[in-house]
A and B are shown apart, each in its own frame.
Chain A
Amino acid sequence: MPNATYIALIPLLPLAGFLMLGIFGRKYFKNTSGVIGAALLLISTVLALYTAYGYFFEYGKVDGVYQKLVPLKYTWLQFSENVSIDMGIIIDPVSVMMLVVVTFVSLMVHIYSLGYMKGDERFPTYYAFLGLFTFSMLGLVVSSNIFQIYIFWELVGVSSFLLIGYYYDKPSAVAACKKAFIVTRFADVGFLIGILILAFHSGTLDFNTLITTLTSPETEGYKSAAAASFMGVSALTWGLALVFVGGAGKSAMFPLHIWLPDAMEGPTPVSALIHAATMVVAGVFLVARLFPVFAISSPNALTMVGYVGAISALIAAIIACTQTDIKRVLAYSTMSQIGYMMFALGVSKYGGEEGLGYTASMFHLFTHAMFKALLFLGAGAVIHYIHSNEMKDMGGLRKYLPVTHITFLIACLAIAGVPPFAGFFSKEEILLAAYEHNTAIYWIALITSGLTAFYMFRLYFNIFWNAPSPLERAGGEVHGEHHGEGGFVMMMPLVLLAVGAAGAGFIPFGHFISSDGKQLNTEFHLQFSIAPVALGLAGIFIAMWMYKKQNNRPDKIAASLSSLYKAAYHKFYIDEIYTFITQKIIFNLIGRPAAWFDKNVVDGMINATGNGTKDISESIKGLQSGKVQSYAIYFLAGVIGLALLFIYWWT
């Protein structure tokens, strides 16, 4: 067994950073807070890597199967003999991998922010929030109890709210953080109900027990969950589907994805953190955590996960092709890639070769964290340089930002699935898993992969090639006085992540992570990869043809596909649909009557009680006249009345 102390330190160090910087930062660590935060996270990262090394190579494997270890379990709230909310740490392949990913990406973001956020007025606050965010996500991935995961889940929501709304003097940022919070919160209601259903039937909140109970058909919990049904669907499936709704909210799956593009209002490194390592993969992680239950007990729920993932992937890819804000393009690409992970889980089965999708999904999560963080940090460097998010303000930047250019290119190649970069390997596995189990999803995935390559290179060419930046055209050598590409602190994370994005694919992932803990040998099928790679390259070349030089081809194509283009440009009007539903339907049909009911009936009842009491008192206070004889008369009348009552009526 591993020593729990240092594993507990991994999430607790960022928390310590949060508390220290949050409370004392503005007074004592005005300039050093960034270094402190980064240093604490560096320790966490080292500990996480050490844990991963120990787990994967020393004690984790017993008889060829990676164990689920619970090195720390502190019973926090005991409800009954079996039901308790614990604060624990679970160590299994997924959580260890997530520890490494989260700490590493977060460390990169911390370091990068040293340069990016330099001179910001609320520098310590920013680092405090980053620490809180990292703590929440780390706590989430090691949670041993389903309620613990819910607590950290909400903490992630809160910290993302704080970070997205970091520029709180910008109305759009305020709107965006509210939107992110409300949408994910809305989904979390589903999650909570799901938790309650699962916990009710399995009789426990502990993950290991819960999974064991709900996957063995002979247990009472399984029987009751499978037998109880609502609207023709078993309680188990309902519970899992609702848990997935929560996951879909955090992971920005269609149709709960609307908060994700707006979340770009936060500082760019925060976007990198949200998109690569922390918030959006929480949903994937959750499904992966409960994967045995999904796969063994409720294939219907898993199929739903698969289709939601595939649809999200496709829609996001289409929308991404038309957006002009570079961060929004990246946001939609995130959504698309998360969709990949989701449907990879959805097509997977439990155990053995059938569990390829699970491994592929986790693999993609890992590689995606690398290249997506890189993309965002690269975009951050560009934005830092240009002070604009719009593609039309960019162009020809490769001369000015050489390091950014190269690393960005690597990331684009990785996400487009060009061998031998990381994305290629994970995507191939996903496609293979989809091909073996669900042809419809496979075709969607294939199209999406082509689109991915296209929009990523559209982005790439628009930033680094194409026409020279309008800024440059207008002001000549405006960048001479500029601060250049950013210092070492901004370049180093880019380079490190680029190395990761280029090389992560060679990790034999199946050896470490598989659905049942056994080793999974992933084979590489050359003939199978021809189609996706060819599609990807085609996408790249089309993008190159359209965007490398300034020309009017994009406009022409947009015009020829005008309605589709317009729909995609407006994100398929999903925001508008939400607005319509909330404002016209919910507000008018439910909200207003409810408000009317509250104002007139509920308040009216309260007021009537108060006023009634007052009126009655006013009218009867004359009885308390101070006249002794009147009292005596009332008294006699009462006695006579009671006497009559008891003599003639009561008998």
Chain B
Amino acid sequence: MSGANIIFYLLAAITLVSAVLAVTTRMIFRAAIYLLFCLIGIAGIYFWLQYEFIAAVQIVVYVGGIVVLIIFSIFLTQQAGEELPKQKMGRQLFSALAAFCGMALVMLQLVQHKFTTTANKAVEPTVSNIGNQMLGVEEGGYSLPFEVVSILLLAALIGCIVIALKSKPEAK
């Protein structure tokens, strides 16, 4: 059992356990923190897979952006220290059952499926490779989706502002 393996299982355990805790804990702030751990665990897995760039993006955007955003919104909308309302027992059981069944189905398929790997030479996912291809316009280039996503982000930005804007009093 090599050190790399141990690290992988450790990361996996952190990810899954904190994910489970994130969706089950009754304290909302803790849930956000567990989510944070979970995301960090996933970033760790990316590191473990030697996809450093993706791992970096994961940490910057998720951990640095989204989770912080969520924590802010919790502060804005929630009295701190208050327990979350409990869902009905039946709903909980049913949801667990449904999720379990779905998981069983997918797992079954995964185990039965024979994946075939490509025989071609591997490409190193270095930052320069990624950058060249993402902004490339030749075949396999992703410049068009890149632009589209840019527009989407802009639209989301404006949309957020408009939605969250305090509506002015009508009389004025």
Contacts and interface: CB of A to CB of B under 8 A. Distances in A.
Nearest to B94: A633
14 contacts: A629-B91, A633-B94, A633-B95, A633-B98, A636-B98, A636-B102, A637-B98, A640-B98, A640-B101, A640-B102, A640-B105, A643-B105, A644-B105, A647-B109
Contacts of A647: 109
The 7 closest A-B pairs by CB, nearest first: A640-B102, A636-B98, A640-B105, A643-B105, A636-B102, A633-B98, A640-B101
A443 B70 CA distance: 115
**Interface SS, B side:** helix
Interface of A, helix, strand, loop or mixed by DSSP:
helix
Interface of A: 629, 633, 636-637, 640, 643-644, 647
Nearest to A636: B98
Interface in B85-116: 91, 94-95, 98, 101-102, 105, 109
Given A633-B95, A636-B102, A644-B105, 8 more contacts: A629-B91, A633-B94, A633-B98, A640-B98, A640-B101, A640-B105, A643-B105, A647-B109
Nearest to B106: A643
Contacts of A644: 105
Interface of B: 91, 94-95, 98, 101-102, 105, 109
A635 to B, nearest CB: 11
A636 B94 CA distance: 12
A647 to B, nearest CB: 7
Nearest to B108: A647
Contacts of A633: 94-95, 98
Contacts of B94: 633
Nearest to B98: A636
A633 B90 CA distance: 13
A643 B104 CA distance: 13
Nearest to B95: A633
Nearest to B99: A636
A629 B99 CA distance: 14
A588 B109 CA distance: 69
B93 to A, nearest CB: 13
Nearest to B112: A647
B5 to A, nearest CB: 32
Nearest to A640: B102
Contacts of B98: 633, 636-637, 640
A393 to B, nearest CB: 92
A640 B109 CA distance: 13
Contacts of A643: 105
Nearest to A647: B109
Contacts of B101: 640
Contacts of A637: 98
Nearest to A637: B98
A644 B104 CA distance: 12
B100 to A, nearest CB: 11
A644 B91 CA distance: 23
Contacts of A629: 91
A640 B94 CA distance: 15
Contacts of A640: 98, 101-102, 105
A387 B29 CA distance: 110
A628 to B, nearest CB: 13
A633 B95 CA distance: 8
A641 to B, nearest CB: 11
A637 B101 CA distance: 10
A218 B109 CA distance: 78
A388 to B, nearest CB: 88
A629 to B, nearest CB: 8
A637 B95 CA distance: 11
Nearest to A633: B98
A636 to B, nearest CB: 6
A497 to B, nearest CB: 92
A378 B94 CA distance: 100
A644 B102 CA distance: 10
Contacts of B105: 640, 643-644
A644 B98 CA distance: 14
A647 B105 CA distance: 10
A651 to B, nearest CB: 13
A647 B101 CA distance: 15
A195 B105 CA distance: 71
Nearest to B101: A640
